[in-house]
Amino acid sequence: MAKTLAIVMFSGTADKFIPLGVLTQTAANLGLSVRIFVTGFATPYFTKNKPEPRFPKEFEDFVPKIHEGMERIKAPSWYDMLKDAKEAGDVKIYVCSLMAEIMGIKKEDMDPIVDDVVGATYFMQESGDAEIIFI
């Protein structure tokens, strides 16, 4: 396995944050480094002023069942999974500087979970020979 998992977190719908949390936590627990590059509609969810979660229109009827199931098994939130993964291993969360600029988001608006605001070139260089996935 590559020693680093690099995740481009683009999609902003609430469902996609579950695999972001699970894959990051799993990789960190397996001793992999994780580099997350937040961009697109995922960006505002990494600021202090998060929008309401939005589920894909096609599966809105599934949402109550998902919520009920997550409560039943006491699944941690994506935010807590990322926070735990950062404590357990080498996990860095970067926000895309281009998207932050487009959306008018400043460094001081970022959630404390964010390590830095960087460009795509920095991310791709930092990712080295990582396995990259695009969520």
Footprint of its own copies on 1-20 (CB under 8 A): 1-2, 8, 10, 12-13, 15-16, 18-19
* Residue 79 engages its own copies in binding (rule: CB under 8 A): no
Residue of the chain from 48, 50, 59, 106 that contacts its own copies (CB under 8 A): 59
The token duo for 8 is 């481009």
Residue of the chain from 84, 111, 115, 124 that contacts its own copies (CB under 8 A): 124
Return the number of the residue (72 or 87) whose C-beta is nearest its own copies: 72
* Residue 22 engages its own copies in binding (rule: CB under 8 A): yes
Footprint of its own copies on 102-121 (CB under 8 A): 102-104, 120-121
* Residue 83 engages its own copies in binding (rule: CB under 8 A): no
Please list, residue by residue across 49-62, b when 16 or more beta carbons sit within 10 angstroms of its beta carbon and e when fewer do. eeeeeebeeeeeee
Nearest to 70 by CA among 112, 123, 113, 15: 15
Q: Please state, in angstroms and as integers, the Cα–Cα distance from residue 64 to each residue in 3, 51, 61, 75, following that order.
A: 37, 19, 7, 15
Q: Is 36 helix (H, G, I), strand (E, B) or coil?
A: strand
Distance of CA 104 to the CA centre of its chain: 20
Beta pairing, strands 33-38 & 116-118: unpaired
Residues at the interface with its own copies (CB under 8 A): 1-2, 8, 10, 12-13, 15-16, 18-19, 22-23, 26-27, 29-30, 39-41, 44, 54-59, 62, 65-66, 69-70, 72-73, 75, 98, 101-104, 120-121, 124-125, 127-135
